[in-house]
Amino acid sequence: MKKRKLIFLDIDGTFTVPLEGPTPLAAEAVRRARENGHKVFLCTGRNIPLISQDILDVGFDGVVASAGSHIEVEGEVILDSLLPEEEVQECIGILHRYGIYCRLEDPHGMYMDREMEELVRRTVPNSRNSELIRMKKELETGIGIQPYARYARKGAYKVCFICMDLQDIEKTKPYLEDRFNYVIHPYAPDAVSFNGELIRKGMDKGEGMGRVCAYYGAEMTDTVAFGDSMNDHQMFTHAGTAVAMGNACEELKKIADMVCESVKEDGIYHEMRRMGLI
């Protein structure tokens, strides 16, 4: 057997179509890889409560959740790091000052400004913007999202945002870019809104992969990462092998080692076969 690999899979737009269950081939790829001695992890921007049971039932060796702020390996929580509430409120205040609306994720759920909900509902997402597609489906089905008033104000893993002018985002950077990476998701030339995430520097998917490697005493060169959106950027720059989905944004494809079929075409399964992982 080839040397054991640590395989990291984004969820939305990679392992599953946003808010849909895993296909039989996607689930088979994970099971067969693990049977062959490889370790397989979810590596997602979702927090733990938003990872559905049909995904978890496939069986994984662990999860890097909340874009790297919560990590579980072999049933053990090895990291759980919330942004202090004082800093959360600072971020919200700065974003709101420039007409940017917010969504927060904590250990219990996801909380959204009313204005953000309204803007998400009337936005037609770019086909490669899996984050916005998932948010729209969550609002349509009533799954996951709660009003901001229910947020407990005890710290959050990350702050997501949406606005109607890219320049408004630029205006916030002098206050926040020393501590956060700005992730802007794909948008169409005629887009009426722009959505993204503030990811803490040193607390992203790539750093999460590094912590999992340290747990096993493995090298980053032994990692394989699959992703589709710009919140997978740090994952790709850290990975030994980075695989972009066929439906991935062009910016991610440019830094990938290879591009596989789309999520709808079971790209994970086919690329794992080509790599000899299954």
- Whether residue 30 is predicted with pLDDT greater than 90 in this model: the reply is yes
* Band of residue 190 on the pLDDT scale cut at 50, 70, 90: confident
Evaluated on CA atoms 170, 173, 174, 178, the torsion sign reads negative
CB burial readout 121-138, b (16+ within 10 A) else e: eebebbebbbbbbbbbbb
- Whether residue 1 is predicted with pLDDT greater than 60 in this model: the reply is no
What pLDDT, on the 0 to 100 scale, is given for residue 143? 73
132: closest CA among 201, 184, 170, 189?
A: 184
- Whether residue 3 is predicted with pLDDT greater than 90 in this model: the reply is no
Return mean pLDDT, the chain: 94
Is residue 164 within 8 A of residue 119, CB to CB? The reply is yes
What are 66-94's pLDDT values in tens digits?
A: 999 999 999 999 999 999 999 999 999 99
Evaluated on CA atoms 14, 18, 19, 24, the torsion sign reads negative
pTM, to two decimals: 0.91
What are 142-165's pLDDT values in tens digits?
A: 777 899 999 999 999 999 999 999
What pLDDT, on the 0 to 100 scale, is given for residue 168? 97
Residue type at 112?
Answer: M
Q: Tell me how far apart the alpha carbons of residues 5 and 40 are, in angstroms, rounded to a whole number.
A: 8
Q: Tell me how far apart the alpha carbons of residues 274 and 207 are, in angstroms, rounded to a whole number.
A: 27
Residue type at 249?
Answer: C
250: closest CA among 133, 126, 136?
A: 126
Evaluated on CA atoms 156, 215, 62, 2, the torsion sign reads positive
Instruction: Give the pLDDT mean for 32-50.
Output: 95
Beta strand 39-43 with 62-65 is parallel
The rounded percent of the chain whose pLDDT value lies above 90 is 82
* Band of residue 211 on the pLDDT scale cut at 50, 70, 90: very high
The rounded percent of the chain whose pLDDT value lies above 70 is 99
Structure tokens at 221: 């060169």
Q: Tell me how far apart the alpha carbons of residues 16 and 57 are, in angstroms, rounded to a whole number.
A: 14
What pLDDT, on the 0 to 100 scale, is given for residue 140? 83
Evaluated on CA atoms 263, 269, 273, 278, the torsion sign reads positive
Q: Tell me how far apart the alpha carbons of residues 256 and 14 are, in angstroms, rounded to a whole number.
A: 14
- Whether residue 246 is predicted with pLDDT greater than 60 in this model: the reply is yes
- Whether residue 186 is predicted with pLDDT greater than 90 in this model: the reply is no
